[in-house]
């Protein structure tokens, strides 16, 4: 009897899901191109992960190549260049969290606090425009400005001052990474927070001003408090991508002088795959190692932020919803 009841409930759920899908069929059609792209370029290539456990030979193919187990993963922890790239990746990514993550929040607050709609639009356009420039263009601009023979050093030399190796010293180079990333992406990142601020009930600010709260107190107690869920989600995503560290930027801005301090995992994978005798099994193992660490960090950040703020991106267990029991009618 219980089996029949369960089967009936499951069939009712399926009908409900199919009904909801049919009602939103046009939205699913809009989503279809993205799903096709995701499957073709992200899920189908995942079959190549098996190379991380094989001694890949091109003439034998992926399936015909011999298995080597965890040999490539063990090599990661005994190769000095791989260890250095892991350290650099962590250091640069932690620096990005400190110097880059708060900037879109601050910019979004500053723009929304400006009087006048036209001024806001102008500043938003100015700060958002660099996002659409490729890192090839940005790195060329930075080289023209800050290289040893660039505009800035030429001006310093003209004033009798010593030239500064902005792109030729490890410390300066990492600072330039943070500065250029903020210049390029801060406006784009601020859009999410500005949208969240636009959804805050304006009556909260009116009530606070009536109670005598200054504008700074209103920003602290209303704006930032309302932004907590958005900040929590963006922080989880930032932690989840901590092993990436920005391949496009570093690949285009790096040079041989700062290679030791700018070599991250992604550039290391590129170098051992295309600039040396290729070992596809080892490079695949490094990429899989990076993805696994990112997933572990994402899970830890999700749970930690969920405990601290009550906001999570996802949950591995079904959250129990407390339902209030209907009050019993009093007997007459």
- Domain membership flag for residue 196: yes
Residues in the chain: 332
- Domain membership flag for residue 41: no
Quote the pLDDT of residue 196: 93
- Domain membership flag for residue 61: no
Q: What is the DSSP track for 63-122?
A: HHSPB-TTHHHHHHTT-HHHHHHHHHHHHHHHHHHHHTTHHHHHHHHHHHTSS-HHHHHH
Quote the pLDDT of residue 330: 43
- Domain membership flag for residue 6: no
- Domain membership flag for residue 119: yes
- Residue 271 to residue 263: CA distance in whole angstroms: 10
pTM score of the predicted model: 0.81
Q: Which helix (H) or strand (E) holds 327?
A: none
Quote the pLDDT of residue 24: 87
Q: Are 242 and 92 in contact (CB under 8 A)?
A: no
**What are the pLDDT digits (tens) for 65-84?**
899 999 999 999 999 999 99
CA angle (62 as vertex; 60, 67 as ends), nearest 5? 90
Q: 156: buried, middle or exposed (CB in 10 Å: 19+, 13-18, 0-12)? A: middle
Q: With a cut of 70, which residues of the chain have pLDDT below it?
A: 1-11, 316-332
- Domain membership flag for residue 200: yes
Quote the pLDDT of residue 160: 86
Please give the tally of structural domains in the chain.
1
- Residue 234 to residue 231: CA distance in whole angstroms: 5
- Domain membership flag for residue 20: no
Which domain, by its residues, includes 251?
80-309
- Domain membership flag for residue 318: no
**Count of Cβ atoms closer than 10 Å to residue 137 Cβ:** 13
CATH code of the domain covering residue 245: 1.10.3720.10
């Amino acid at each position: 009897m219980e089996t029949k009841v369960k089967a009936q409930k499951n069939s009712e759920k399926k009908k409900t899901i199919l009904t909801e899908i049919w009602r939103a069929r046009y939205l699913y059609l809009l989503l279809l191109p993205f799903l096709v792209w995701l499957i073709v370029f992200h899920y189908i290539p995942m079959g190549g992960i098996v190379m991380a456990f094989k001694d890949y030979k091109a003439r034998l193919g992926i399936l015909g190549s011999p298995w080597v187990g965890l040999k490539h993963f063990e090599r990661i922890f005994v190769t000095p260049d791989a260890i250095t790239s892991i350290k650099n990746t962590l250091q640069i990514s932690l620096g990005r969290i400190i110097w880059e993550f708060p900037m879109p929040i601050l910019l979004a607050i500053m723009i929304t606090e400006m009087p006048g709609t036209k001024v806001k639009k102008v500043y938003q356009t100015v700060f958002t425009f660099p996002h659409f420039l490729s890192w090839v263009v940005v790195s060329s601009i930075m080289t023209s400005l800050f290289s040893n023979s660039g505009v800035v050093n030429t001006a310093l030399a003209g004033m009798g001052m010593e030239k500064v190796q902005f792109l030729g010293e490890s410390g300066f180079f990492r600072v330039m990474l943070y500065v250029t990333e903020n210049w390029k992406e801060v406006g784009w990142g601020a859009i999410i927070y500005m949208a969240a601020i636009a959804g805050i009930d304006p009556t909260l600010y009116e009530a606070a001003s009536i109670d005598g709260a200054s504008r700074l107190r209103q920003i602290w107690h209303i704006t930032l408090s309302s932004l907590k869920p958005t900040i929590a989600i963006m922080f989880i995503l930032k932690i989840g991508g901590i092993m990436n560290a920005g391949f496009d930027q570093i690949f285009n801005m790096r040079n041989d002088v700062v290679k030791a301090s700018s070599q991250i995992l992604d550039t290391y994978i590129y170098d051992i795959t295309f600039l040396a005798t290729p070992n596809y099994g080892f490079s695949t193992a490094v990429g899989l190692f990076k993805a696994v660490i990112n997933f572990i960090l994402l899970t830890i950040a999700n749970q930690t932020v969920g405990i601290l703020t009550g906001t999570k991106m996802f949950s591995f267990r079904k959250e129990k919803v407390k339902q209030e029991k209907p009050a019993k009618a009093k007997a007459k």
